[in-house]
Structure formats: structure tokens, C-alpha cells
Amino acid sequence: MQYLTQALLALVIMLILRKFYRQYQNDFYLLWSWSWLALFANMLGSCISLANAFLLPLDHPFRITISIVTVTASFLQILWLYSGTLEISRSRKLNRKLVKAISYSIVPLAILLVFLSFNNPDAGSFRILYRVGIKSLLAGIVFISCSFLLLRMTNTGIGIRFIIFSFLFYGLLQGNYFIETFLELYEKDYPLEVPYFAAGVIDIFLQALMGLGMIISVLEVEQHNLKKANTELDTFLYRSSHDLRAPLTTISGIISIIRSIDDPDKKEEYFNAIQDRLIQADNVIRDIITLRKGQKTDLQIDQVDLKEEVSKEFESLIDPNNGSPKLVIDAAENTRLYTDAARLHTILTNLLSNAIKYHHQADQAEIKVKISKADKGYHVALSDNGPGIDEKHLPKIFDMFYRAHRSSNGTGLGLYLVKDALETMGGSIEVSSEKGMGTTFRIHLVDHGANHS
């Protein structure tokens, strides 16, 4: 009855998490749902094994097959739960090929554990150790590790706290099961042995709390995302309408002035002013289109040479007749990676154009780009020796429509687009600056080559 209850509980939670995954497309929901599916298979297999314990011999093919399925499912549950927890705690995707490879390697391991002493009627304790005890030891280590991973998260609601609590105590309980199983081999008394019925009730309680925590955490994450989206939408509507209306109002005023003057030179000057305002409005519209397109478009992975892309973007942005700064690139020998080329273009264009725009008008003006190999990708440090950014502005420069320099004629969307593109690609960005000494942006680009097919 205990196994059947756990199987039904796992099935319900799996279906709820799958529903969340289809709606929100967060991969850790999918991995968690797989872990519950594996638990369902494990408990269902245990029910079948228990029902046939006295009907079929130990070496019957059906009993062996069910045991292999059950052991495999128990290890897959641990793997997928750990993978999903890693993703939510680190806010980035894992290497899917690695997860698949480990999943496939579990099958031969399960076969080996099942066939150890499978036909020896006197080796019951050893069979339990191989098929249950080892799994309990690994589960104990993994669940306790997962609880500490979640503890490191900065924003933890009630759902994550439920998960941390249930993971920690479930891990301790699984470790206790292993000690019981191990000592049973030597017929040793164990003072912390949990009675079978009580252990079943505690298992069901902790699994129910675990599932409830996961469901609540999903709702909390999506509620946070919704609040953030609403705030950004309000800011977007207000600022975009203002930034589009301002140049149109100016153009209207300039046209009124043009009608009242006859001087051709003055008219030309005002026509140039109109053109500047039209370019300003066009830049706002272009950035809005880029933002919307980036939010609706999935990653399109291609191989690019990072060093070449930096050089090309710089050459396309500079004006040789306007005192452009010098570009200095310090790069590793091989800077090829698989990434989203369009989003990379957005990142490099905005960072380089800012560095060019705010460089010192002097012979020694330069932009330095250092590209170094990093874990699962590349680190790129882009530095200029321009006027720098006041410290009070640094926490806000990636906000939508924020301008650190009052004299800036930009849209205020550039750095927001950079951060949005990097987060979509699984990367990150940091900034450091000193007034009068320049600014350095440090970005981490993920190489999606391992997941490229």
C-alpha cells in the first residue's frame, strides 16, 4: 500500500510539473518532472516485485527484468532531480549530452547490481544492499547536496524552503537506510533503526512536502517574472512614448520656424536638425524592434570566431575621419565558439559603440578587448579609457531606458539589450568603472558547442 501511494503521488506531481514546463518552458521543470516519473516507475516496480516475491523464483526472467527497471528508475530519479536543482540554483542550463550519457550508463550499472547474487537464496541481505542500500547511500548524498545548493540562492520563497527542508531530512533518512542495510549484513543492532511502517509514513510525508514545495516554487518564480514584466512594460510604454514624442514635437517646432525665414543657410541648418531628430526617433524604434524580436526568437546557434566578430563590429562602427580610438585585442589562439550570432552582434555593437562614443578625444585613446578561455565558454573584457561612469549610476545602467550621461543622445536601451541577450544565451555581464579613468565591461559567453547538433 505504501509503494502504491508513493507511485500515485509521484504521478500526480509529475503531471503538474509537465504542465508547468509546457506553459513556461523552463528546463528545470522538465528535469524535475522526469525525476518524479522515475520515482513512479520505481514504486510501481517495487509493488510488482513485492506481489511476485512468493510466486516466482529468484532467477525468473520477469522478476529480474522488474528489478532492473526498478533499480534503473531509482538512480535516474536521483540524477534528474540533481540536474534540475543545479539548473534552478545556478540559473543556467546543463550540458544535455552529458546528462544523457550518464542516464545511459545507469542501465548497465543497474543490470550489474541486479545480477549480483541474484540466484542465491541465502544472500538476501546482500541483494538488498546492492539493489536498495547503494541507491540509499547515493540518494542521501545527493539530496543533502541539493538542499545546500538551494540554500545558496539569494531569493528563496516558501516553496524553496519547503524543498530545502524535505531534501535535507529525506537525504538524512536515506543515509540512515543505508546504515541499517549495511549493519544488517553483520547482524548488528542499530539504535536508530526506523520501523517499516513509520519509515513509509515519513517517506510519503517528505515526498509530498517536496512536491508541494516544487509546485509553490514554480508559482513563485512565475509570479516574480510577471511582476518584473509588468514593471518593465510600464517603464517601456512611458519612456518609449516620451522618446518618440520628443523628437516629433521638436520637428513640429522647427517646421514652424522654417516657414517664417527666407535665409537658405538657416533653412539648411534647420533641415539638418530635423534629420537628426528623425534619426533619434528611428533609433528608438530600431531598439524596440530588436528587443521584441530578441524576446520572441529562440536561440539560433552557429559557429563564429569571436576575435573576428569583434574586429568586424569595430570596423563597421568607426569613422576614420572623426578621431576614432585604437582597438587592441588580446585573444587566445582559438576563439571559435557556437553561439547565437544575431544576439552576439547586438552585444558587441552596443558595447563597442558606447566605448567609441565616450572615448577621450586624444592620440592615446584606445579600446582594449581581452578574450580568454573560460569554463564552458569565453570571458570577454572590453575596456575604454574614457570619462568613466559615476559609481552611483553603476547599479542602474542595465535598466531599461536608463542613461548614465545626461549628454547622451542614445535611446537608453543599449545596455538593457546587452544584458537581455546575454541572459537568453546563458551568459552574464558585470561592469566596473572609475570616474575619469574609463570603464570595463566583463561578459561571459557560453559555448553551446556541446549541445550543438
What are 140-198's pLDDT values in tens digits?
A: 998 999 888 888 876 678 888 898 899 999 899 888 888 888 887 777 777 777 777 78
Identify the CATH class of 298-453: alpha beta
Q: Which residues contact 35 (CB under 8 A, 6 or more apart)?
A: 76, 77, 78, 79, 80, 81, 84
Considering the entire predicted model, what is its pTM? Answer: 0.57
CA distance 328 to 317: 15
Is pLDDT at 41 greater than 80 in this prediction? yes
CA count, 13 A, side-chain hemisphere, 224: 10
* Cα distance from N-terminal residue to C-terminal residue, the chain: 45
CA distance 224 to 221: 5
Q: What is the CB neighbour count within 10 angstroms for residue 230? A: 10
In the 3-class helix/strand/coil scheme, how is 184-249 assigned residue by residue? HHCCCCCCCCCCHHHHHHHHHHHHHHHHHHHHHHHHHHHHHHHHHHHHHHHHHHHHHHHHHHHHHH
CA distance 155 to 138: 28
By the 8 A CB rule, do 385 and 365 touch?
yes
Q: What is the DSSP-derived secondary structure letter of residue 24?
A: H
Task: Tell me which CATH code domain 2-229 carries.
Answer: 1.20.1070
What are 305-336's pLDDT values in tens digits?
A: 999 988 988 888 776 666 677 888 888 778 88
Burial label, 195 (beta-carbon count in 10 A; 0-12, 13-18, 19+) = exposed
What are 261-306's pLDDT values in tens digits?
A: 878 878 888 888 888 778 767 766 776 666 666 555 667 788 889 9
CA distance 292 to 43: 46
CA distance 309 to 300: 16
Burial label, 210 (beta-carbon count in 10 A; 0-12, 13-18, 19+) = buried
Domain ranges of the chain: 2-229, 298-453
